[in-house]
Amino acid sequence: MKKLENKTVFITGGLSGIGKACAIAAAKEGANIVIADMQSKENETAMAEIKSINAKAIFTECDVSVFTHMQVAIQKTVDAFGSLDVALNNAGIGGEAHKIGDMSEHAWLKVINVNLNGVFNGMHHQLAQMAKQKSGVIVNMASILAKVGFASSAHYVAAKHGVIGLTQTAAIEYAEEGIRVNAICPGFIDSPLLVKGGISENKEVKQLIVSLHPMKRLGKSEEIATGFIFLASNESSFVTGTALEMDGGYLAQ
């Protein structure tokens, strides 16, 4: 029996990177897939790849920073498949690199609105649906920077610290309703987010980032997906309120 057979899995930011890897992994485990993301040129290609594994997959355009967009996306999920069994709040952006004193209000709010408010918006509507069902699993994509600081990334660090707080609080509030809530804290992953941040193109910066991990390499999106499947499935039935570190040893230093 597949680990997510006939379960409905909702993923934000699922057209690329970690989100796409998690969607593919869930599809392989028999799940119905709902991808909530911004429209992009990757849409058709990514959805075709997911549907080639499990045809029961749909896309809904969604800006996670808009409260009502998330409400509509969750309703579309329930309308299409009848339930919401697993939600992965994965959508996120890196933001501009500045010291706090040099960071503009716009740059701060842009990251906070997506990386923190976006997770709250998702959880608000996901938890309401799961409470009706008396069952469900939520996984929030945090970061190693949810537990430590990182120069020139105050907006990202603050948002991801907030994600851990939301995760722990929701886990306590909804445990008796049959809902589990956990987070994943990846290290630096070789993904489109690094490309957008210019890290992949700068060999010196990339090597510096690699050197921060005791395993001396970047992680792979597919590796993070294995942690997602564990937390999404019954294999983690007694796990809630935790943050799974998948970081090549970064936080052990």
Domain boundaries, the chain: 8-188+220-252
pLDDT confidence of residue 210: 94
What is the distance between the alpha carbons of residues 3 and 63, in angstroms, rounded to a whole number?
Answer: 29
**Tens digits of residue pLDDT in 80-105:** 999 999 999 999 999 999 999 999 99
Identity of residue 92? G
Residue 230 CB contacts under 8 Å (≥ 6 apart), including other chains: 236, 244
Distance CA 134, CA 176 (A): 9
Query: Per-residue b/e over 235-251, b at no fewer than 16 CB within 10 Å?
Result: ebeeebbbbbbbbbebe
Query: Does 196 score more than 70 pLDDT?
Result: no
User: Which pLDDT score, from 0 to 100, does residue 60 have?
Assistant: 97
Task: Check pLDDT > 70 for residue 197.
Answer: no
Q: Is the predicted pLDDT of residue 192 greater than 90, yes or no?
A: no
pLDDT at residue 198, as a whole number: 56
The mean per-residue pLDDT over the stretch 212-221 comes to 96
Cα(145)–Cα(154) distance, rounded to whole angstroms?
Answer: 10
pLDDT(195) > 90: no
- CA separation for the pair 12, 17 (Å, rounded): 11
pLDDT value at residue 51: 98
Q: Note the pTM of the prediction, 2 decimals.
A: 0.96
User: According to CATH, what is the number of the domain 8-188+220-252?
Assistant: 3.40.50.720
One of 120, 156, 188, 250 is an active-site residue; which one? 156
**Model confidence at 25: pLDDT above 90:** yes
Known active-site residue 156 = yes
Residues of the chain above pLDDT 90, percent: 91
